[in-house]
Amino acid sequence: MERTLLIVKPDAAERNLIGQILQRVELARFRIVEMRLVRLSSERARKFYAVHEGKPFLDGLIEFMSSGPAIAVVLEKENAISDLRALVGTTDPAKAPCGTIRHDFGHDVQRNSVHASDAVETAATEIEFFFPGTQDESGSR
């Protein structure tokens, strides 16, 4: 089993899309392992997105991600990372395949409704960020 992190971003939470997004995730046979409502401060958002330090979009991303509540979700299944990335679609909703979460719910590259981990190492780091101490070294609980 593989674990990954999904964040239902503030734009989707504000539009009451949490249930619809999680329903799609469950229909895709992901198991929800952990879930919590989070409200990121600017400092925590900057820490989470530290990989983008120095990029021109970072300040706008920080402002957006700290603008309202979000839902952090640990998901589990075989090939969880690649399967979730396929389910959510590409970052730009205008370029995401029809039927993906970002195509159907996203507005633009920043307000694209969800975040999904992109690699095993990233998933482990991101899960630890929101759910400290919930994984052992193998990525399992």
Residues designated as active site = 115
Collapse the DSSP code of 84 into the 3-class scheme (helix H, G, I; strand E, B; otherwise coil) and give the result: helix
d(CA 130, CA 71): 10
d(CA 64, CA 82): 26
Comparing CA positions, the residue from 21, 19, 2 lying closest to residue 112 is: 21
Q: Which residues contact 128 (CB under 8 A, 6 or more apart)?
A: 134, 135
d(CA 13, CA 73): 13
Strand pairing report for 31-38 and 70-77: antiparallel
